[in-house]
Amino acid sequence: EVQLVQSGAEVKKPGESLKISCKGSGYSFTSYWIGWVRQMPGKGLEWMGIIYPGDSDTRYSPSFQGQVIISADKSISTAYLRWSSLKASDTAMYYCARHVGAVAATRVDYWGQGTLVTVSS
Amino acid sequence: QSVLTQPPSVSGAPGQRVTISCTGSSSNIGAGYDVHWYQQLPGTAPKLLISGNSNRPSGVPDRFSGSKSGTSASLAITGLQAEDEADYYCQSYDSSLKVVFGGGTKLTVL
């Protein structure tokens, strides 16, 4: 059974750094793109970017390029999303998402349970 | 503002048919890229509902169907049930923005 298990909720202050994780199991972690999707409170889904753990090829949405870093450690089947300096506007639920299909036809077939990040002074 | 435009809300009575539109442009849907649909029940992660414009993943009832034409796509739900009340999102690929989602549509079952 494919599972994506994310790290727990975080409460941080503006300016702090943060790294959240997503551990994949039940499939070949290095053979699928895995990415992150943001959902701000009461808002829609926003695609942030993806990484191919097999070779660490990473693609970002222009909206998130330079704002976050996506990485993966294939030895432990885990993907990460990192911020170096959080802002209040980073408050949101973050979902990791396994992508399937060619990049131009890609869709998400499995989702993590979500990690709620709250940034407040 | 999302690259893919969806109506903010739709509603229907139990048993009725509703459709949700997803309008894009020549750099995404109109360029021939596939459209996928997701259902997000309150407080849960999204779930893939329709892939590749019109294909239902295993376990998705045949009350849900998808279509695509030109720069738009549609999700149709027939025999509306109370459990269908959720947010629905379309998703495609954009040649400059990469993967893009629609703004989402809230379905209310009256």
Span B79-104, pLDDT tens digits: 999 999 999 999 999 988 789 999 99
The dihedral formed by the CA atoms of B84, B73, B53 and B34, expressed in degrees to the nearest 10: -130
Span B4-56, pLDDT tens digits: 999 999 999 999 999 999 999 999 999 999 999 999 999 999 999 999 999 99
Does residue B46 belong to the interface with chain A, where contact is any CB pair within 8 Å? yes
User: Do A34 and A79 touch, CB atoms closer than 8 A?
Assistant: yes
d(CA B79, CA A24): 36
Please tell me whether residue B37 adopts helix, strand or coil conformation. strand
Taking the mean position of all CA atoms in its chain, how far away is CA B18? 11
Task: Give B-chain residues touching A35 at CB under 8 angstroms.
Answer: 99
d(CA A10, CA A5): 15
Q: Which of B20, B95, B98 to mutate to test the interface with A (most CBs of A within 10 A)?
A: B98
pLDDT at residue A104 greater than cutoff 80: no
Q: Which of A33, A107, A116 to mutate to test the interface with B (most CBs of B within 10 A)?
A: A107
Confidence of residue A90 (pLDDT cuts 50, 70, 90): very high
d(CA A113, CA A6): 6
Task: Give B-chain residues touching A50 at CB under 8 angstroms.
Answer: 99
User: Do B100 and B3 touch, CB atoms closer than 8 A?
Assistant: yes
Q: Which helix (H) or strand (E) holds A73?
A: strand A69-73
Does residue B59 belong to the interface with chain A, where contact is any CB pair within 8 Å? no
Burial B59-68 (b: 16+ CB within 10 A, else e): ebeeebbbeb
Task: Give A-chain residues touching B52 at CB under 8 angstroms.
Answer: 101, 105, 107
